[in-house]
Each structure stands twice: as C-alpha cells, then as structure tokens.
Structure 1
Amino acid sequence: MHSQSGRPKEEEEHTAVEKVGEKYRCNVCGNEVTVIKVGGDTLVCCGQEMEKVGWTCQTRRQYRRFSWCHSDIIAASLL
C-alpha cells in the first residue's frame, strides 16, 4: 500500500517523540498534545500520525521582527 507521497508505507519517515515539551496536532480532528513523558514512539490520532508543531527558526525570526514594536514582555518570552 502506498501513502500520499507515493512511497510504500514501510518507507515513510516517522516522527518519533524525542523530548518533553514537544507539541503535536492531529490534522483530522485538531486535537493537540504536549509531551510530558518521552516514550520514543510516534503519536497517532484518528488513525493517522500526529504532526509535530512549534516554532521554526524562520517563524521565530518573523515573529521577533513583528513583536519588537509591542511590549518587551512578548519579545522576551521568545528568547
């Protein structure tokens, strides 16, 4: 059986939980999870692997550029 990427499911990369504090979201129902204990496996909801979400370097840079004109508290919380 093939996935949406066209590769066999056995060759799909899996996003294993790596550390406490990581956040994941279900792309079907919108359920969100924050990791409090690492088990090393992947998270599944609605029959699909959950997507890891969070700040990327580019997103963080864009937000910093925007937030400097607001309050120092918002900018400091991103550091």
Structure 2
Amino acid sequence: MGAVRVRYWAGAQAAAEVESDELPVGTDATVASVLAQAVEHRPRLGAVLPACSVLLDGRSVPRETPVPAGVVLEVLPPFAGG
C-alpha cells in the first residue's frame, strides 16, 4: 500500500478547503476510487467533482484509469478567462 497526492485547483480547492491531500491507495486503485476517498474526507468536494477534469501526473485521464502509488492527481474544475 502507498499513497497519492491529490491537488485541488480553483473551485475544487475552495470546496476542499485545502490545497492538497495525501490519500492511501492499494494496488487496485483507480481515479474514481481515489476521488471517492477524497469526498469521504472532504464532503463538499462531492458538489464540484462531477464537473472536474482530472490530471494524472500532468495528463488528462478518465475515471477508470489505474492509479499507482506515488503519483499526483490534480482536480481541475472548468474555468474561463483570458
């Protein structure tokens, strides 16, 4: 068993009320299971996660992607600007 770092940006950070979390993962972890843990730990995230993109070590990935220990997941809500 290891851990992953989950970094929150913009509205996800506001909902989480922290910049990041270290969450434990097993060998069968997926993006979806890590995000479910994040919501258990920080319930307000549940309102924003459905609209968020997730990056795994800087690459956009679907929720069923396996997550090995030692990586960084970044939670990015949609945003506009220029």
Bigger CA radius of gyration? 1
Q: Structure with the greater relative contact order (CA < 8 A, sep ≥ 6): 1 or 2?
A: 2
TM-score range, shorter chain: under 0.3
Larger strand share, 1 or 2 = 2
Larger helix share, 1 or 2 = 2
When normalised by structure 2's length, the TM-score is 0.26
When normalised by structure 1's length, the TM-score is 0.27
